[in-house]
Structure 1
Amino acid sequence: MKKLIDSQQYRRALEFFDRQLSICNNMTFNLALKACSKLNDYQYGIRIHQQLSVKALNDKFIQTSLIHFYMQCHDIDQAQKIFSSVKNKTVHMYGAMFKGYISNNMPEKVIELFETISVEVDEVLIIILFNACAKLCNSQAIKLGRDTLNRLPISFLRNPTLVNSAIDMSMKFGDVNQAENLFEKIQKKTLVTYGAMMQGYVKNNLFESALHLFEKNTLKSDEVLYGIAFKACASLSNEEAIQLGKKTFHEMPKVYLNHTILVTSAIHMFMKFGEIEIAEYLFSQIKQHSSYTYGVMINGYKINHEPQKCLSLFERMKKENITIDESISLSLIGACSQIGIRSICQNIVHQIPLSQSNIYLNTALIDMWGKSGDINQAKQIFQSISQPGLVTYTSMMNAYARNGMGYEAIDLYNKIHENIRDRVSHICVLNACSHSGLIDQAQMIFNKIDKTSVEIVTAMIDCLSRMGMFDQAENLVEDYEKSNLPNLIMYTAMLSAARNYRLVALSEKLYNRMRLLFPDENSHLISASILLSNIYSSLGYNQEVKEIRIERIKQFGKNITVGVAWTEVNGQLVRFQAHDRSHPQSDEIYAELVRLSNELKEHGHEYDSSWITRPLKNEETIESVLCGHSEKLAIAFNFIQYPRPSFIQITKNLRVCGDCHRATKLIAKIRQCEIIVRDANRIHHFYTSGQCSCQDHF
């Protein structure tokens, strides 16, 4: 029987036991119980238990095997009953109980039993105790774990498995120095030891330390260490981590490419690096995909703002009948939030599992509906939550803010108790005031905030600037800079508002100060240069426009972000770039643009050349350039459908320009079609009355 069990032939061992039952003794009964435990054969184990003699039932080894068997088969009550009936308990019985509690995810029971233990503990019990304390990490577990570790005999610390468990426990307690001290004391470090330390560093967000230890390791790394290194590189995603992550992956033995979990970690890392093609290649090499591999890929597309690819992968999952878990549902909801189109959101929501008790899903749904302009859906979910937390409140406030519902956001903010309002809730309500032009309310709220942060001050500066109160905004910046370093976003907010008010002197002052204070912030300086160019153009300062454009190209190159818009027609998500002619119906789209343009001009619309930031080409006109903006193409595409729509929804990657904003208000009125455009900053509801929800505070 022992040979059969050692070779994992448990069923054959039991068959042999049955044939020789008449001559079996305590040892064979013990082996049979072990085989039942391995097979989780509850009925067979009960039958053996019933066949045991009184003498056998008093045997310490049999009692321990019975405890182990019942714990393995999840009959906790029976295991505890046997354990309680034994007067003189052994350390092995405690070990069986400890292991059973851990395997049944009851670490608190380990701690309870340890505190009443009546035998001298051995190294095995300490290892399991540390495991239980690490799993719980509550005040009782932390105190017991620390006290036990401090009282350990020096001889115990020669056990590498025990020290590894102590390192793991200390790291989970946040006792990084304690873990490092234990690590340094180990003379012969193993891969498990390095893994425990690296994982601990990652757990404590010390990613650089994890990577330093990985590079310091002289042993041959295994899949566990590679996986931790990839996770640390992904979490950092700075230039140094990107280089190390790529180098480590390419130098890793190719045999590890057969380890799906490790390859999936690499996929996550490359997605965080923005290396989508490498991630896609690795994903294609996985022979059998699971919910986990799909989840990592979908989340990777989401973080790289590729929502269409998220939805395509979702369709593939459905065809392969792969389970959609809550993490994938969250990623899909996030992808829908990026697309921001109601019909797409509705379609996905109907196809994924949603738990009404999952606060993360509900909060994500509020965010999604808010970003798709369906404030009623967001409000309905919010009101269905019996005890919304602060994150849920701020998500709903953000939904109101994006949709120009400042008063509703303020009302919700006032319902949050003063003692639990935090930085994010303050920012949310100030943004809501800013987008709705509620300057008096914003000042009242700002003045009551005890502890302001850079983000809170920036939100107030944005609000003041949007309302043309630049003296107050500048004073706020000066006050902030008396005790803090200058902040780029504050200047960008003021410059953006100054552009709307066509204040040349102030704009030049802000732009020059930004160049002086933030010389390395290329992307922001490009945006600032374009804003200043807009102002020059709006006032007819053509020479200045030319000069600043030449300067921009000389300093930054022709580094511009192309305008992109998405819309949904007949269940299909369609993408347009500015001046796009790649669509099969391109001729019809541009013919519709001509019709729309004529209607606009008939109703008094004049195209505003100040929103053009480059020289016109020979064949171009002001009208053709502005009509080629991505959202206008999306609007025209919707109008060539039959029947003609009464509702259009568009999502845009950039902020809507002033000409498109005025034109869309007029199109909504002329064509009697409600149009929703979500730009990079907010959501615009263009009503059939010719008004926009932003009240022109964009």
Structure 2
Amino acid sequence: MHKAGTLMNSYTAVGVLQACAELSLLKLGMEIHASLLKYNREFGIYEGNALAVMYAKCGRMGEALRIFGEMGEKDNVSWNSVLSGYVQNGLYEEAIGFFYEMLESGFKPDQVSVISIASALGRLRNLLIGREVHAYAIKQGFDSDLQVGNTVMDMYTKCFHVIYAERVFHQMPAKDYISWTTVIACYAQNSCHMKALEMFREVQKGGMEVDSMMIGSVLQACSGLECLSLLKQIHCYTIRHGLLDLVLQNTIIDVYGECGKVDHAFQVFERIENKDVVSWTSMITCCVHNGLLNKCLSLFTDMRNDNVEPDSVALVSILAATAGLSSLVKGKEIHGHLIRRSLITDGSVSSSLVDMYAQCGNIENSFKIFDRARCKDLVLWTTMISACGMHGRGKDSIELFREMQEMGLIPDHITFLALLYACSHSGLVNEGKHYLETMTSEYGLEPWPEHYACVVDLLGRSGRMEEAYKFIKSMPIEPTTAVWCALLGACRVHLNHKLGEVAAEKLLELEPENPGNYVLVSNIFASMGKWKDVEMVRTRMQERGLRKDPACSWIEVGNKVHAFVARDTSHADSVAIYTMLDEIMQRLEMDGGYVEDTRFVLHDVREEEKKRLLHGHSERLAIAFGLIQTPEGTAIRITKNLRVCGDCHEFTKLVSKLFDREIVVRDANRFHHFRGGSCSCNGFW
């Protein structure tokens, strides 16, 4: 038509602009705009509205607002075009401001206006104004409109107000599958998992249409319940009804992972023909969730070999795996990848990097990442506070907490948990008690069992056993296993046998199927010399089919991780390792005055056998290997899955002095930085 020389009229311009808006053809839309200006035509209301919609849908809200301002005549379509444009572009605060401007100008919001503003308020979780908009919709009779009802229900869902959403649903005169999908999502997202499943059964009974979005919410409910049988039923349902698209397959991988069924997740993953970045991320996250950290790293390699570029979410999962493995080499590699991809500014990425470096024993790099972060949110502050705590820098944690408060950030339960943990591992008793009080009195946060466990641990580590026991008895909630576990560990360190027996009894009563509890109880009896009780506990473990995790230590040299168990002889350099251990022992006995403390051997054997058992502890093998394989003067970094025993702690202090090495040991409790014959923990571990 243009080539034929026929001039466009109002209908032509509006029609083409609508097409440009739907297809996001900004360049062509601007050409139409220029053409209208060229012929010096005054915009009618229809062309102005079409231009505003086109610019808004192409993400150019500035131009849309300019067109709106230049329009001589405006109707509800004009106002709604700009209002919905703000919402579509995620400018929710601006949408609210524009809505008030609309009211002040005398325009009466219609159903479309209510739908747009309710959508914005839901995303902002602004319940107060949301209720006002809902009240307006009721007064104007808009609440009977299906779309308005669905949007208001979704708004209440995002504001975590289940009762209001439920009420809207039941009062709707007509419901479509979107209504049912929204109410099921409301229940699933607000932990009303059984109600979500009941609603889904109602949908099935009514023979209504079911789509993949509804199934996604049902899967979320299965995840919340961690119910494998239900998950399998829904999985089969999606296959039978042909609903199993890529999004659902990825979600099913996630849920199988959350239910602890990694093999099922892998079966779904392997059947996906065209895996996207979400598929790979879901499988990697599944492995992280279930402790298969080495598998995460191999999946990451496979992902890149499959030419799938990882995004920030995938890289955060990989950082969690490298942190769990204390693999500093791999962590630095991922950090480099993030820098090259310019993803370092992402808030969750910064927090993950801080945590990764802290978990790998390099807290100096954690501070560098933290200091360089442009926008420090609560998660990043909490991660840094936690990092200092695990490295025994409790005073630094407190200073960070004070700085965070000065920035105006409000601490949550997790922040206080990290802070109390830091106080516990630095022996800051008065500070720990103060912050537990601050948590309730200043911030109105009810402590979790974990907070109480931290305080018990803090008092116990400091030798204030009776005070710790009185604190437990004064707790407003029933003490959990974590609380009794903290007390039991302190009883073993301070040889308080009476309270140790009380804690042991409570621990086995609360969690009779946890093998770790039996090991703790067995150890406390062994430290008392009650070998018959030790045998009784071990027999109970065998009868229940429970097994203790063997002690294991590992060290990363180059690009390879070398793992050792107690008295290990399977390593290729085993002969050299034991030769080095013998040399270390000779030097320690001659120059360091080292004498084995056999109290830490919890077996009823002769003294010489106890010494032999101590000499074969896994962390000593890793230290000897590190001395052989790493250049003089470099730090040796070791990770152990269990707590370092007192004798190995003393042994490592002396080795750090005699060989002039920094030795960083991460055990099940915390980090130990050994330098010049002393340790950063100062005896608190």
Looking at structure 2, the residues matched to 504 and 73 of structure 1 have their Cα atoms a distance apart, in angstroms, of: 73
Give how far 1:683 is off. 0.7
Answer yes or no: is 1:67 the counterpart of 2:52: yes
C-alpha spacing 1:527/1:116, structure 2 compared with 1 (3 Å): same
Looking at structure 2, the residues matched to 373 and 195 of structure 1 have their Cα atoms a distance apart, in angstroms, of: 47
Please list, as runs of the form range in 1=range in 2, the aligned pairs for 1:314-463 lying within 5 A after superposition.
Answer: 314-353=300-339, 358-384=346-372, 391-413=379-401, 417=405, 424=414, 426-439=416-429, 442=432, 451=441, 453=447, 454-463=449-458
C-alpha spacing 1:44/1:406, structure 2 compared with 1 (3 Å): closer
- Aligned pairs, how many? 667
2:15 match: 31
Contact 1:256 1:262 in 2 (8 A): no
Contact 1:668 1:690 in 2 (8 A): yes
Looking at structure 1, the residues matched to 71 and 388 of structure 2 have their Cα atoms a distance apart, in angstroms, of: 65
Looking at structure 2, the residues matched to 166 and 117 of structure 1 have their Cα atoms a distance apart, in angstroms, of: 25
1:5 match: none
Give how far 1:624 is off. 5.6
1:498 match: 491
Deviations 1:582-636 (A, max 9, x none): 55555655565566566666766566665555788xxx95456545544334334
Moved more, 134-143 or 161-170: 134-143
- Which ranges in structure 2 are unaligned for 5 or more consecutive residues? none
Give how far 1:436 is off. 3.1
Looking at structure 2, the residues matched to 347 and 267 of structure 1 have their Cα atoms a distance apart, in angstroms, of: 27
Deviations 1:475-526 (A, max 9, x none): 222333xx4323332222121111123333332233224445x2x4532xx4
Looking at structure 1, the residues matched to 579 and 21 of structure 2 have their Cα atoms a distance apart, in angstroms, of: 76
Answer yes or no: is 1:691 the counterpart of 2:684: no
1:214 match: 200
Looking at structure 2, the residues matched to 507 and 77 of structure 1 have their Cα atoms a distance apart, in angstroms, of: 70
Give how far 1:249 is off. 1.3
Looking at structure 2, the residues matched to 531 and 429 of structure 1 have their Cα atoms a distance apart, in angstroms, of: 26
Looking at structure 1, the residues matched to 432 and 56 of structure 2 have their Cα atoms a distance apart, in angstroms, of: 61
C-alpha spacing 1:92/1:541, structure 2 compared with 1 (3 Å): closer
1:470 match: 465
C-alpha spacing 1:577/1:196, structure 2 compared with 1 (3 Å): farther
Please list, as runs of the form range in 1=range in 2, the aligned pairs for 1:626-637 lying within 5 A after superposition.
Answer: 626-637=614-625
Answer yes or no: is 1:193 the counterpart of 2:183: no
Looking at structure 2, the residues matched to 387 and 104 of structure 1 have their Cα atoms a distance apart, in angstroms, of: 22
Answer yes or no: is 1:522 the counterpart of 2:513: yes
Answer yes or no: is 1:232 the counterpart of 2:218: no
Contact 1:579 1:630 in 2 (8 A): yes
Looking at structure 2, the residues matched to 411 and 124 of structure 1 have their Cα atoms a distance apart, in angstroms, of: 51
Identity %: 27
Please list, as runs of the form range in 1=range in 2, the aligned pairs for 1:148-167 lying within 5 A after superposition.
Answer: 148-153=136-141, 156-167=142-153
Please list, as runs of the form range in 1=range in 2, the aligned pairs for 1:220-299 lying within 5 A after superposition.
Answer: 220-234=209-223, 236-238=224-226, 241-253=227-239, 256=242, 259-299=245-285
Moved more, 71-80 or 211-220: 71-80
Contact 2:212 2:248 in 1 (8 A): yes
Moved more, 581-590 or 158-167: 581-590
Contact 1:607 1:623 in 2 (8 A): yes
Please list, as runs of the form range in 1=range in 2, the aligned pairs for 1:99-110 lying within 5 A after superposition.
Answer: 99-107=84-92, 108-109=94-95
Contact 1:537 1:609 in 2 (8 A): no
Contact 1:499 1:532 in 2 (8 A): no
Contact 2:114 2:133 in 1 (8 A): no
Secondary structure of the 1:573 match is strand
Secondary structure of the 1:338 match is helix
Looking at structure 2, the residues matched to 85 and 386 of structure 1 have their Cα atoms a distance apart, in angstroms, of: 39
C-alpha spacing 1:70/1:365, structure 2 compared with 1 (3 Å): closer
Deviations 1:548-573 (A, max 9, x none): 3223333x333322333332111223
Contact 2:134 2:152 in 1 (8 A): no
C-alpha spacing 1:341/1:188, structure 2 compared with 1 (3 Å): same
Answer yes or no: is 1:128 the counterpart of 2:119: no
The one-letter code of the counterpart of 2:158 is: K
Contact 1:639 1:645 in 2 (8 A): no
1:511 match: 504
Looking at structure 1, the residues matched to 272 and 295 of structure 2 have their Cα atoms a distance apart, in angstroms, of: 18
Moved more, 27-36 or 556-565: 27-36
Looking at structure 2, the residues matched to 165 and 413 of structure 1 have their Cα atoms a distance apart, in angstroms, of: 40
Contact 1:198 1:210 in 2 (8 A): yes
TM-score (norm 1): 0.83
C-alpha spacing 1:85/1:335, structure 2 compared with 1 (3 Å): same
Name which of 528, 531, 545 aligns with 1:542.
531
Contact 1:534 1:611 in 2 (8 A): no
Give how far 1:266 is off. 1.1
Contact 2:76 2:107 in 1 (8 A): yes
Secondary structure of the 2:546 match is coil
- Which ranges in structure 1 are unaligned for 5 or more consecutive residues? 1-16
Looking at structure 2, the residues matched to 568 and 305 of structure 1 have their Cα atoms a distance apart, in angstroms, of: 19
Looking at structure 2, the residues matched to 565 and 26 of structure 1 have their Cα atoms a distance apart, in angstroms, of: 77
1:22 match: 6
Looking at structure 1, the residues matched to 50 and 424 of structure 2 have their Cα atoms a distance apart, in angstroms, of: 70
Answer yes or no: is 1:661 the counterpart of 2:643: no
Contact 1:89 1:119 in 2 (8 A): no
Give how far 1:682 is off. 0.7
Name which of 550, 566, 585 aligns with 2:554.
566
1:486 match: 479
Moved more, 407-416 or 490-499: 407-416
Give how far 1:679 is off. 0.8
C-alpha spacing 1:392/1:150, structure 2 compared with 1 (3 Å): same
Give how far 1:46 is off. 4.3
Aligned-residue CA RMSD (Å): 3.8
Give how far 1:344 is off. 3.8
Looking at structure 2, the residues matched to 364 and 90 of structure 1 have their Cα atoms a distance apart, in angstroms, of: 50
Deviations 1:280-317 (A, max 9, x none): 33223333333333333333333223333333333344
Answer yes or no: is 1:301 the counterpart of 2:287: yes
Secondary structure of the 1:676 match is strand
TM-score (norm 2): 0.84
Secondary structure of the 2:679 match is coil
C-alpha spacing 1:51/1:493, structure 2 compared with 1 (3 Å): closer
Looking at structure 2, the residues matched to 442 and 98 of structure 1 have their Cα atoms a distance apart, in angstroms, of: 50
Looking at structure 2, the residues matched to 692 and 299 of structure 1 have their Cα atoms a distance apart, in angstroms, of: 35
Give how far 1:264 is off. 1.0
Contact 2:114 2:148 in 1 (8 A): yes
C-alpha spacing 1:473/1:643, structure 2 compared with 1 (3 Å): closer
Contact 2:328 2:360 in 1 (8 A): yes
Looking at structure 2, the residues matched to 495 and 138 of structure 1 have their Cα atoms a distance apart, in angstroms, of: 47
Looking at structure 1, the residues matched to 587 and 403 of structure 2 have their Cα atoms a distance apart, in angstroms, of: 47
1:310 match: 296
Secondary structure of the 2:338 match is coil
Name which of 145, 148, 154 aligns with 2:133.
145
